[in-house]
Amino acid sequence: MKELSRSERFLRIFTEVRAGEGSTALLLFANVFLILCAYYFVKPLRDGWIAVSAIEGLSKMEVKAYSSFGQSILFMGAIGVYARLSSMLPRAVLISRSTLFCMSNLVLFWFMQPNFFLRNLPGMGIAFYLWVGMFGLFVVAQFWAFAADLYTDERGRRLLPMIAIGATSGATVGSFIVEQVVRSDLLDSGTLLLLANIPLGLSIWLTQRADTMGPLGEGYPEEARADSSELAQAPPEAKDSGRGAFALIRAHPYLMLVAAVTLINAWVNTNGENLLFRVVQEALAAEVEGTGVTDPALILHEVREGTTAFYGDFFFWVNATALVLQAVVASRLLALGGFGAILLLLPCIALVGYTAMAFLPILAVVRVMKIAENATDYSINNTASQVLWLPTTAEMKFKAKPAISTFCVRLGDGLAALTVLVGVQLTDLSTRSFFLINAALVVLWIGVAVAVVGEHGRIVESDAGEHAA
């Protein structure tokens, strides 16, 4: 029997790793670390750019919220193109080409950043905000689709929580670097757009390497040694039904439930993000006013850099907390409490958080509660989001998963924008009322999540029965 390597014995600190699994798991760990590091070079910048993209008659929170709604419209076309490509291209080629496309976009936005080579182009902050949303969801979603497709349900349950530590580690490092760059004035924040291409380029090589090695690090059956051939798995060829992504989702009750829980999660979270953004902008406006600065260009610069710095710090604490939860809690909670425990934890925390924010809607409380919510989302709930795809087919992973992870998330953003429109323009809701609306949505979220847990258990039992037969 093959013995554990030294690295595999170390990995056993975090989860159960078996002989032969360590090399590919470490490649995936490093891969998602680099992807999230690159994303968090870019993510704080979008809030800084949108903060200086004024539209007459709209508050900054409304500009941010309505821009999020615009993302859901763009995704409708993008998802269809991606689904067709997933049917035509091998998974490693698909991931490599889409990542290279994003890298070229980063260079383009570096040239077009406000007051750099060109003066502040109208709408550039909004265009960048729209693009970052697409970049973050597509690049991250396709990695997890790849990881879920590489592993069986049993192997994925053991290894994905450990691999997800790489995601939270990369996000923590990326947001820390952003905070240091902005606060030290060593580099302009726009330079991070170019720096993000370095980890993205390395991630392409790691994806290709992991795809070649397979789940046991020995290639696939035709390349594997005879004594491990029954364990080595060839990359599954998706039996394409000919359905588009949305037709596939409508045809399966489980996918419909996953889409619903994803949408409500995004709606609740984005409502909270919009409210946090409004409070931050009010605080920055008061701070700049206190300095006596009157030059409009300087005010815009201070607001942009101040917003970027705040979110760099905010994301650092979110991701640092998420890293602890992912490393210490996620795999143990999954092993002890099962899939239901990790899927239901986030909405339960959100219910407590938004109730508290409704009673004390001040920046300090909102910041702490949003850190708790987002940290759980990026760690425990991220693990749950990957585990729920393990018993699905390859076609579902590469068609339905990106569609749900992009369109449903952005549709949730659109509903959050509608919430802002009704709450600000039509009914003039207070901040407390917005938080109470979120608490009510969380109750609905818990109900749908319970249904997902039940359907997931039925599918796993059905698959186990088929294999036993």
The ranges assigned to domains in the chain are 18-223+243-468
Contact call for residues 170 and 34 (beta carbons, < 8 A): yes
Task: Give the mean model confidence (pLDDT) for residues 19-36.
Answer: 84
Residues 6+ apart with CB under 8 A from 99: 139, 200, 203, 204, 207
Contact call for residues 14 and 168 (beta carbons, < 8 A): no
Coil/strand/helix, residue 55? coil
Taking only the tens place, the pLDDT of each residue in 277-301 is 877 877 887 777 777 777 777 777 7
Q: How far apart are CA 308 and CA 191, in angstroms?
A: 13
Q: How far apart are CA 4 and CA 216, in angstroms?
A: 12
Q: Which pLDDT score, from 0 to 100, does residue 285 have?
A: 79
Coil/strand/helix, residue 314? helix
Give the pLDDT band (50/70/90) at residue 236: very low
**235 pLDDT exceeds 50?**
no
Residues 6+ apart with CB under 8 A from 110: 116, 190, 191, 193, 194
Query: Which residue shows structure tokens 């339905």?
Result: 400
* Between 447 and 126, the higher pLDDT residue: 447
Q: Mean pLDDT over all residues of the chain?
A: 78
Q: How far apart are CA 364 and CA 147, in angstroms?
A: 38
Q: How far apart are CA 111 and CA 107, in angstroms?
A: 7
Q: Which pLDDT score, from 0 to 100, does residue 237 have?
A: 44
Helical pair 363-376 and 253-291, crossing angle rounded to 10 deg: 150
CATH 2.40.128.110 fits 18-223+243-468, yes or no: no
Taking only the tens place, the pLDDT of each residue in 54-92 is 666 777 777 777 777 676 677 666 666 766 776 677 778
Taking only the tens place, the pLDDT of each residue in 406-425 is 778 778 888 888 898 888 87
Q: How far apart are CA 144 and CA 200, in angstroms?
A: 15
Q: Which pLDDT score, from 0 to 100, does residue 311 have?
A: 79
**36 pLDDT exceeds 70?**
yes
Q: Which pLDDT score, from 0 to 100, does residue 114 have?
A: 62
Phi-psi region of 415 (alpha: psi -120 to 50; beta: other; left: phi over 0): alpha
Amino acid at 356: A
